[in-house]
Amino acid sequence: MPTLTIDGRTVEVAAGTNLIEAGLKVGVQIPHYCYHPRLSVVGQCRMCMVEIEGMGKLQAACSTQVMKDGMVVRTNSTSADEAQRAIMEFLLINHPLDCPICDQAGECGLQDYSYKHGQSFSRFRFDEKRTYPEKERIPLGPTVMLNMNRCIQCTRCVRFTEEIAKTSELGFFERGAHAEIGTFPGKPLDNPLSTCVVDICPVGALTSTRFRFAERVWYLDKKPSICTGCDAGCNITLEHKAGSIKRYKPRQNPEVNDFWMCDYGRSTHERYRDLPRLAFPQIRRNQALQATGWKEAIDHLAHNLRSRRTEGAIAFLGSGFLSTEEAFLLTKLATAVDSPHRSIWVDSGPTRHIPNLQGGITGHDAAPNRRGAELAGLIPAPGALASEDLLLEGAAAQCGALFVADSDFGRAANDAKVVERLREARFLAVMGWADTLLARAADVILPVATHAERAGTFVNSAGRIQRFERAFPAPPQVRPAVEVLADLLSRFDTKWSTVTPATVFDLMAEEVGAFSGLRYREIAAEGTRLSGLSDGRPPAATDSAAARPAGPGT
């Protein structure tokens, strides 16, 4: 492997590595706009000019590959610095400088590099800048808005649609100072990954219709999380202000979603805003649901789980939205009341494909954690009541008590017919965050934290276990499901009094083969591939997505 020196720091890199990547290895950031590690190198912005010993002219770092030993690169020599200043000046002379009303402000490449490479005055003394009249607000498609005046023609977006999305909706039109990006007539930018062009746009030319004017980015708190839109398990940064989620952005994980995520995934936080929330525990008394305290609600549920055994089966119905730890505790609860009736319901979603360097990751379910829940034990034993029996066949009538551990497990939760079928159980308990038709039919309601308000793990479609963190606390009367389930379990077995996702996971790892040897805190940042699992479908559900019964209410 060749060795080179960048700004006096020596580094060994694989032959063919470009200078921007080589610099990053030793902490030298070479400014750039058009370069993106996953897009073809075009050398257009000319911001990354560096001096290389023995070469007469400055070279673009992005298009210079390290091929042999001994290259000496200076990113901050006088000539390189002058070139970078010149490019900053060129980029800004015609830029509108409308930062106060620009969504990108605060995370803008022009702003960032202006501090380091720019100057505080303008030599461009003309009354009018070059503008693109009538092109300040061009909807390129349903998700992306273009302001051509802010564009710096780096063509990252064009290359994204050509090389990553492979849909080629965007093109580079006109020439010279009038060069512009846009769509072809009658072909809007509407591919499933379209909002990624907003992420990779280094300036405010492309903004997300979903996020436009929603919040100044410096007011956002950012937490690493996992998208719950499907079981691809895209890594995201959850950005919120005081508990109100403003957007999801992809968080790079080369093993999963790389730099990308789909538009649907980005929209999934809107459910927390749009759906009514369960705010406090409730118990049905005299046909009506009444607010109550947590202790009373859990005692009431524990009592019914115990006493209703004589009236019929005690069934437990989870969903693919449960974290692996929650699913494990639900399994434990079923064991505590000697019930074999434990299963999950997962809507099958449209197939969602996110490209990465290994070819991509595909999600099939409309929930993030079918595999984790099944590995944790939510699989009906032969002959036991399965979720299909309960939701589709009316098997709930045989139940003395039915505990649905997710008030929003899919379309069925708001399907009157399904809810009616589940209501056939003598006693119906619902735990969850959303105030659905199903929750309102329950005898006891346990409000729990949303995805953003709790921590845990999901196992994605490729068998990779990934951790997500709590972004902000749950409302006062709402508790994380892990706590609630442990509380409930403690009514049967005192060892369960206080738990955290970490302790539950570590216990589970001792019992469940698929997780053996793992510890919660040791799950890698990019997730850990569970060994011994087949890629794609989980072992318990060998039938294809098409063979599974379609969800009710479809």
Nearer to other proteins, 48 or 230 (CB): 48
Mind giving me the DSSP string for 406-452? -TTSSGGGG-HHHHHHHHTSSSEEEEESB--HHHHT-SEEEEB--GG
* Smallest separation, CB 108 to other proteins (Å): 16
Candidates 37-45, 69-77, 107-115, 206-214; binding stretch for other proteins (CB under 8 A): 37-45
By the rule CB under 8 A, 45 interacts with other proteins: yes
* Residue (of 45, 98, 117) closest to 207 by Cα position: 98
* Smallest separation, CB 179 to other proteins (Å): 3
Q: State the SS3 of 5-20.
A: EECCEEEECCCCCEHH
By the rule CB under 8 A, 397 interacts with other proteins: no
By the rule CB under 8 A, 24 interacts with other proteins: no
By the rule CB under 8 A, 297 interacts with other proteins: no
Q: Tell me the three state secondary structure of residue 282.
A: strand
By the rule CB under 8 A, 230 interacts with other proteins: no
By the rule CB under 8 A, 57 interacts with other proteins: yes
The CA R_g of the chain, rounded to the nearest whole Å, is 27
Of residues 5, 168, 172, 280, which one binds other proteins by CB under 8 A?
172
* Smallest separation, CB 269 to other proteins (Å): 37
* Smallest separation, CB 43 to other proteins (Å): 4
User: Total number of residues binding other proteins (CB under 8 A)?
Assistant: 37
Nearer to other proteins, 86 or 384 (CB): 86
Tokens of 199: 């992420």
* Smallest separation, CB 118 to other proteins (Å): 14
* Smallest separation, CB 52 to other proteins (Å): 13
* Smallest separation, CB 81 to other proteins (Å): 12
CB 368 within 8 A of CB 393: no
Sheet containing 49-52, strands listed edge to edge, beginning at the edge strand earlier in sequence: 9-12, 3-6, 71-74, 49-52, 59-60
CA 399 to chain centre: 37
CB 510 within 8 A of CB 516: yes
* Smallest separation, CB 260 to other proteins (Å): 24
By the rule CB under 8 A, 58 interacts with other proteins: yes
CB 421 within 8 A of CB 394: yes
Binding residues among 121-150 for other proteins as defined by CB under 8 A: 123-126, 130
By the rule CB under 8 A, 175 interacts with other proteins: yes
* Smallest separation, CB 47 to other proteins (Å): 7
Q: Which amino acid is at 274?
A: D
Of residues 72, 86, 105, 540, which one binds other proteins by CB under 8 A?
86
By the rule CB under 8 A, 41 interacts with other proteins: yes
By the rule CB under 8 A, 43 interacts with other proteins: yes
Q: Tell me the three state secondary structure of residue 272.
A: helix
Nearer to other proteins, 81 or 215 (CB): 81
By the rule CB under 8 A, 219 interacts with other proteins: no
Cβ count near 399 (within 10 Å): 25
d(C-alpha 188, C-alpha 201), whole Å: 18
Candidates 139-147, 177-185, 270-278, 457-465; binding stretch for other proteins (CB under 8 A): 177-185
Binding residues among 88-117 for other proteins as defined by CB under 8 A: 89-91, 93-94
Binding residues among 235-294 for other proteins as defined by CB under 8 A: none
Residues 6+ apart with CB under 8 A from 238: 222, 223, 224, 225, 245, 248, 269, 452, 471
Q: Rounded to whole angstroms, what are the CA distances from 320 to 228, 346, 457, 460? A: 9, 6, 12, 11
By the rule CB under 8 A, 168 interacts with other proteins: no
Of residues 87, 140, 164, 405, which one binds other proteins by CB under 8 A?
87
Candidates 119-127, 235-243, 250-258, 485-493; binding stretch for other proteins (CB under 8 A): 119-127
By the rule CB under 8 A, 81 interacts with other proteins: no
Candidates 84-92, 186-194, 203-211, 392-400; binding stretch for other proteins (CB under 8 A): 84-92
Q: In 451-511, at which residue ranges do the beta strands (DSSP E only) sit?
A: 456-459, 464-468
* Residue (of 502, 511, 465, 500) closest to 332 by Cα position: 511
By the rule CB under 8 A, 4 interacts with other proteins: no
In degrees and rounded to multiples of 5, residue 47 shows phi and psi of -80, -25
CB 207 within 8 A of CB 145: yes
Mind giving me the DSSP string for 513-545? GGGTT--GGGS-TT-EEPTT--SSS-TT--S-G
* Smallest separation, CB 8 to other proteins (Å): 23
Q: Which residues bind other proteins (CB under 8 A)?
A: 41-47, 49, 57-58, 60, 63, 82-83, 86-87, 89-91, 93-94, 123-126, 130, 152-153, 155, 171-172, 174-179
